[in-house]
Structure 1
């Protein structure tokens, strides 16, 4: 039986089927999520997509993995932390199993990103990497932890997360109700807000980086300095705890090359290892495929 996965996004739902032996892609399809039509409609869209793919390849799954924009609370078995808010509080795994009549596993999309990159992406260049930390730096900041090719969900279902640790005392208010979270300091929108506060005019992050590199904008350079220094602090604190064999950075901010050069040096300032750091930190290989591939690999 092949591996089936669903990546449930805010605007689209993607299904992928992987060959169980080679992990090669057999089929991929997408349809709109249409989340504004509510929770029950999202479930019906998932069922519709699976039916479409089944018809195409002549096979219906007996089990499926699902990457979600939130997490299944282990104790209550209800969804939490979903930016598609109609999903919060819902017994999504149970509801899907009843609707589809098959077994379902759910995992946060950052966990699925980490699992896919560990098994199919960047991790292929590091076959001995026992602990892989996949982090997301984009509109938000999140992460997932994979140990011995298995996701570490944790007691509360938040294993690998780092975006809501406090990085800046008394800092900007976060949607999670705390102040100064990592996400409010080094996410893409946070860096753009920091620039606007300094310069008085808005600017996209890619332009901020360009202006810094050309030494043409002192405010841009201040924002990049803010990014690099806080990146070093934020990563070092987690490295000190889990000491990963490999770190893979996804998300738009993760495309900034400075993170892998100057940013790497900033981590050395704070790591509890006499300034020594040999952990590989790299960009993802799978692009936006990581979520759906990781979902399929939940049954690997």
Structure 2
């Protein structure tokens, strides 16, 4: 059996897959974030309990909201502070007495969508997470592309384009990112980015879901906020298209369920890409919330 473990800042999910990548069952528990021992033991309990239930010894792949430094082997996980600076892979392999593969959660999502998903049989897939943050992953010629420091695809930490100030006004807010830089797209293309655009336009605080519903009711301020958001998204994607020339872009995360994006974004891409050849399709993820655990399980396939 293949076990995929998707670790987030509030919960961790373990899902069981067969060798054809069909999901058989899953379970979730809260993520301990303050104690490294509690964090490791929560993972151990999930895995060992599943082994006992299935009378097997599953292979384990883990998606984390961060990276493992290839030089030091130490993890960097902004949303799971207790794991920062820890030799997570080595520690878990000792604890579980088996090999473990660990990848960035956006890479796991991309892997899942590139094999049997919305990007199936397309040589170059750019997977995009539009959720609590803005992440990405690259699948090129039948394999994930991690880069020198396991950072490939992290387009959320590119800066705001200059034309946003023409679009939204010179007073458009410049936000400091959790990475320490200012103006990272992560803060503008995530769910909180849509909320930030709406607050800038209206002066009011609304949830992303409320803004989408207002947009669908043709609320003028919501329409303006979505216009700003879509221009920023198209600009960011356009830069990646010019660099990567992907065959398809697959969207995941909560905002991927904003179905109007698939009509609004493609025409805007022409403004931000070289006028050569065909634009890549922008598709909704096939596996939705299950993409992360499915991709994590596939790491050991």
Match of 1:41 in 2: 38
1:12-70 residue CA offsets vs partner (Å, 9 max, x unmatched): 222223222x222344232222334x111111111111111111111013x42111111
Structure 2 runs not aligned, ≥5 long: 163-172
Match of 1:16 in 2: 15
Query: What is the TM-score when the length of structure 1 is the normalising length?
Result: 0.91
Q: CA deviation at 1:85?
A: 1.1
1:101-142 residue CA offsets vs partner (Å, 9 max, x unmatched): 111110011100111111132234xx2x01111100122100
Distance 1:265 1:57 in 2: 50
Match of 2:274 in 1: 272
Contact preservation (8 Å) 2:110, 2:127: yes
Distance 1:136 1:40 in 2: 29
Secondary structure of the structure 1 residue equivalent to 2:299: helix
Q: CA deviation at 1:200?
A: 2.1
Secondary structure of the structure 1 residue equivalent to 2:93: helix
Distance 2:256 2:24 in 1: 29
Match of 2:154 in 1: 161
Distance 2:53 2:144 in 1: 31
Distance 2:26 2:212 in 1: 35
Structure 1 runs not aligned, ≥5 long: none
4+ long deviations beyond 6 Å: none
Secondary structure of the structure 2 residue equivalent to 1:203: coil
Q: CA deviation at 1:81?
A: 4.0
Distance 1:209 1:45 in 2: 36
1:194 aligns with 2:197: yes
Match of 1:91 in 2: 87
1:66 aligns with 2:59: no
Q: Over aligned residue pairs, what C-alpha RMSD do you find? A: 1.8
Contact preservation (8 Å) 1:168, 1:185: no
Aligned length: 291
Identify which of 102, 106, 111 aligns with 1:115.
111
Residue pairs, 1:116-265, within 5 angstroms: 116-124=112-120, 127=121, 129-168=122-161, 171-217=174-220, 219-265=221-267
Contact preservation (8 Å) 2:74, 2:86: yes
Q: CA deviation at 1:156?
A: 0.9
Contact preservation (8 Å) 2:33, 2:81: no
Contact preservation (8 Å) 2:63, 2:103: yes
Distance 2:141 2:95 in 1: 33
1:53 aligns with 2:50: yes
Distance 1:121 1:80 in 2: 28
Query: What is the TM-score when the length of structure 2 is the normalising length?
Result: 0.90
